[in-house]
């Protein structure tokens, strides 16, 4: 009897963990993570030196996730932390380095989804939240809502003591030059540069997070696919976690992220088959600037599928493999 009483607290902890969905660790401790930093046409300015800089930051970002997953962190925490890094890196169109709208203002969108319970949170059209993905996480965790926009989202972020910055914080010299060209009519808006992360943790749970500054030169409060759950961001433990990048209007109309998971669920497609079906047979015929997706399924299989000249991407697996790529067909394993 005394031994039972001594063991009782441990039994209670195990029961609570089981109910929370995090007690069943994969026997192989299998995990996987994939990130992207946007897709688009390969610019002539993409020199070997510039590619090297992108690869350096992509590997650093995915290494953050690799370390966390190895240490047993939940996938939802991992994808948020990795996207934080990408939002703070001025190379990408998210957070610092986000593009401007037609009025010269930065408006950002972000979303996060937990595949273990299908909970999701998103913000859109925010102008002063340093890390929009953190606001999206709080929408998911501390409200009954999924999507908050504009001033309401900012007021919510302030109430939760998130870091608030002046809109000028998001700008870089490159974005200023891009905006000037768009205003002069010498350059079209480029939707590239969105960042995202998907991960499978050792508990078998999938999560996805995506963050963006949207389309350069966008008008009238335009919102793209990123904060639309099922379009640019989706996760379900039964199938896969997906994050998209590209021409958001196409992603919304095709509900890309959910469609990939639906093909897996309803037609028993593999993740690779579903991603290829949606990107090449559904998105490509629609025209536009295209884009791509990253994904990981419940078994740790990954995809990086895109119909453009480049997609900044990196991945890591519990096997020890770490890889990176920028241009189409150039992905390489940097560590086994």
Q: Indicate if 180 belongs to the active site.
A: no
Rounded to whole angstroms, the Cα distance separating 198 from 327 reads: 20
Phi, psi of 212 (to 5 degrees): -160, 160
The DSSP secondary structure of 292-308, one letter per residue, reads EEEEEETTS-EEEEESS
| Assigned token pair, 31 | 């995990």
Give me the residues paired with residue 86 across strands.
none
Q: With beta carbons less than 8 A apart as the criterion, state whether 324 and 57 touch.
A: no
- Rounded CA gap, 304 and 1, in Å? 56
Which of the residues 194, 210, 239, 245 is marked catalytic?
Answer: 194
Three-state secondary-structure class, residue 30:
coil
Partnered with residue 327 across adjacent β-strands are 310
Torsion angles phi and psi, residue 295, rounded to 5: -160, 155
Burial class (CB in 10 A: 0-12, 13-18, 19+), 9: exposed
Q: Do residues 99 and 175 make contact, with C-beta atoms less than 8 angstroms apart?
A: yes
Query: Within a 13 Å sphere around the CA of 325, how many CA atoms are in the beta-carbon half?
Result: 20
Q: Do the Cβ atoms of 208 and 193 come closer than 8 Å?
A: no
Please identify every residue annotated as catalytic: 194
């Amino acid at each position: 009897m005394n031994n039972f009483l001594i063991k009782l607290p441990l039994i209670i902890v195990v029961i609570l963990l089981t109910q929370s969905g995090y007690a069943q660790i994969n026997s192989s401790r299998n995990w996987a993570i994939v990130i992207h930093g946007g897709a688009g046409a390969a610019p002539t300015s993409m020199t070997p030196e510039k590619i090297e800089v992108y690869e350096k930051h992509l590997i650093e970002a995915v290494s953050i996730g690799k370390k966390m997953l190895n240490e047993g962190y939940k996938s939802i925490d991992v994808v948020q932390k990795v996207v934080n890094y990408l939002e703070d890196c001025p190379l990408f169109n998210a957070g610092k380095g986000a593009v401007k709208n037609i009025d010269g203002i930065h408006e950002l969108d972000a979303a996060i989804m937990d595949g273990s319970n299908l909970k999701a949170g998103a913000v859109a059209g925010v102008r002063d939240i340093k890390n929009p993905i953190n606001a999206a996480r709080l929408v998911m965790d501390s409200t009954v809502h999924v999507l908050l926009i504009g001033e309401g989202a900012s007021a919510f972020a302030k109430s939760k003591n998130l870091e608030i910055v002046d809109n000028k914080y998001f700008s870089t010299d490159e974005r200023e030059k891009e905006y000037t060209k768009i205003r002069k009519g010498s350059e079209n808006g480029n939707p590239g540069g969105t960042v995202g992360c998907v991960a499978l943790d050792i508990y078998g749970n999938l999560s996805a997070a995506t963050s963006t500054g949207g389309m350069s030169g966008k008008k009238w409060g335009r919102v793209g696919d990123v904060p639309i759950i099922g379009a640019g961001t989706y996760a379900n433990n039964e199938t896969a976690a997906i994050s998209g990048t590209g021409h958001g209007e196409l992603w919304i109309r095709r509900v890309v992220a959910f469609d990939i998971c639906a093909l897996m669920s309803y037609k028993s497609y593999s993740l690779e088959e579903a991603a290829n079906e949606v990107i090449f047979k559904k998105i490509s015929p629609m025209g536009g600037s295209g884009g791509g997706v990253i994904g990981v399924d419940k078994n740790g299989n990954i995809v990086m599928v895109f119909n453009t000249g480049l997609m900044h991407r990196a991945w890591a697996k519990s096997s020890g493999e770490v890889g990176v790529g920028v241009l189409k067909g150039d992905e390489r394993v940097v560590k086994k």
